[in-house]
């Protein structure tokens, strides 16, 4: 197929310049880019899960503690509740945002923040207890993978919380400008994404861990 034909074309009938006043949609461009970022972040988690898969055979624990000894799915379920509560609170925030309800957005954000912080506190508490019991990432390859995978997720949560703090300030200071709304939307994506990752962590580390 050749790219063009040499049929004479009436110059008045062709459109050579764009006068449609189209402005590209800032919000959708921003969101699209964020999806791309999440794709690469998802790859990071996928590979960490792969590493955990490779390093969670019983010999990977080098005769030291194995997950069945120390994972507490009940406790992790509490964390799940906290995180999903936080996501739910963020959902209310988005509803309030749609209604232009500033007070609603702020209280929703506080809710999400506090529940997220609760998740993190539970996680830190768990880690501290494990370390105290001599269950450290230095003990074996399996434990290295366990800690790095779970704590990489926790680090993402930490950044999410920091971001929420920033949004609290920005919403109260600027109100609902395009930029602020854009950030609220991407933060929602991020937060849901972290919740999804947590589901995988819960299943493949805490539940499956009981069987290793």
Partner 1 sequence: MDMWRKKLAHWVRYLALAPVLLLNGCSTSHFWLFDPKGPMANADLYYMVIDVAVMLTIVGITTLMIIWFLWRYRKSRGKGTYDPKWSHSNAIEVVVWGIPIIAVAFLSYYAIEGTYALNPYDPTVIKEHTVAGDDPLEVDVITTDWRWLFIYPKYHIASVNELVVPAHTPVYFRLTSSSVVNDFFIPQLVGMIDVMPGMRTKSALLANHVGEYQGFSADYSGAGFSWMQFRTKVVSAEQFQQWTQQIQASPRQLSYAAFNEFAKPYIDVSGKPEYFSGVQDGLFDHVLGEVMNGKVWPLPMAMTENMVDYMKEQNARTSTRTSN
Partner 2 sequence: MLVDLQGPWSPLLGRLALSQIPYENHILAPLFVVVVILGLAIIAAISYFGKWGYLWREWLTTVDHKKIGIMYILIGLVMLFRGFMDALMIRTQQAMAVGPDAPGYLGALHGYLAPYHFGQIYSAHGVIMILLAATPLLVGIMNVIVPLQIGARDMAYPYLNALGLWVTAAAAALVMVSLFVGDFSHNGWFGIAPIFELSYSPGVGVDYWMWVMQLTALGSTLGSINILATVVKMRAPGMTWLRLPIFTWAAVASNIIALTSFPALTVALALIGFDRYLGTHFFTAGLGGNLMLYTNLFWIWGHPEVYFVILPAFGMISEIIPTFSEKPLFGYVTMVLATFGIAGASWAVWLHHFFTMGAGPAVNSFFSVATMLVGIPTGVKVFNWAFTMYRGRLRFETAMLWAVGAVFLLLLGGLTGMMLAIPAINYMVHNSVFVIAHFHQMLLVIVYAIFGAVTYWWPKVFGFKLNEAWGKAVFWLFTAGSVLVFVPMFTLGFMGMTRRLDYVFNTQWQPLLDIQVLGIAVYSLSVLAFVGMLYVSIRDHAKNQVSVDAWGTARSLEWMTPSPVPFYNFAVVPHINARDEWAWRKEHGFTDLRPDHYEDIHMPKNTGIPLILGALMFLLGFGLTWRIWWLCALSLALIIALVIIRSFDSDTGYTIPADEVERMERGHHERARAVDLPAAGVLGGAIAYGQADPAVKGQGAALGGGMTSPEGSRV
Instruction: Give the total of residues touching partner 1 (CB under 8 A).
Output: 5
Instruction: Please state the φ and ψ torsions of residue 109, each to the nearest 5 degrees.
Output: -60, -40
Q: Which residue has the tokens 């400008």?
A: 177
Binding residue (CB under 8 A) for partner 2 from 74, 103, 134, 138: 138
- Three-state SS annotation for 21-78: CCCCCHHHHHHHHHHHHHHHHHHHHHHHHHHHHHCCCHHHHCCCCCHHHHCCHHHHHH
How many whole angstroms separate alpha carbon 83 and alpha carbon 195? Answer: 7
Q: Is residue 198 a contact partner of residue 153, using CB atoms and an 8 Å limit?
A: yes
14: contact with partner 2 by CB under 8 A: yes
22: contact with partner 2 by CB under 8 A: yes
3: contact with partner 1 by CB under 8 A: yes
77: contact with partner 2 by CB under 8 A: no
- Under the rule (CB under 8 A), what is the footprint of partner 2? 1-4, 6, 8-9, 11, 14-22, 24-25, 28-29, 32-33, 36-37, 39-41, 43-44, 47-48, 50-51, 54-55, 59-62, 137-145, 147-148, 162, 166, 170, 174, 177, 179, 183
Q: Which residues bind partner 1 (CB under 8 A)?
A: 1-3, 6, 62
């Amino acid at each position: 197929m050749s790219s063009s034909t040499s049929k004479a074309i009436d110059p008045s009938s062709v459109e050579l310049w764009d006068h449609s006043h189209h402005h590209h949609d800032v919000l959708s461009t921003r969101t699209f880019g964020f999806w791309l970022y999440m794709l690469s972040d998802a790859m990071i988690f996928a590979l960490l899960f792969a590493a955990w898969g490779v390093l969670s055979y019983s010999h990977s624990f080098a005769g030291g503690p194995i997950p069945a000894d120390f994972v507490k799915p009940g406790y992790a379920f509490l964390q799940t509740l906290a995180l999903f509560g936080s996501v739910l609170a963020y959902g209310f925030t988005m509803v309030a945002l749609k209604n232009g309800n500033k007070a609603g957005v702020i209280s929703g954000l506080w809710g999400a923040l506090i529940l997220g912080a609760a998740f993190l506190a539970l996680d830190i508490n768990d880690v501290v207890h494990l370390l105290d019991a001599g269950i450290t990432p230095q003990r074996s390859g399996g434990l290295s993978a366990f800690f790095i995978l779970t704590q990489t997720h926790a680090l993402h949560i930490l950044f999410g919380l920091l971001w929420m703090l920033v949004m609290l300030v920005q919403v109260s200071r600027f109100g609902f400008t395009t930029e602020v709304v854009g950030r609220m939307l991407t933060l929602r994506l991020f937060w849901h994404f972290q919740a999804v990752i947590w589901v995988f962590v819960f299943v493949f580390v805490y539940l499956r861990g009981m069987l290793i």
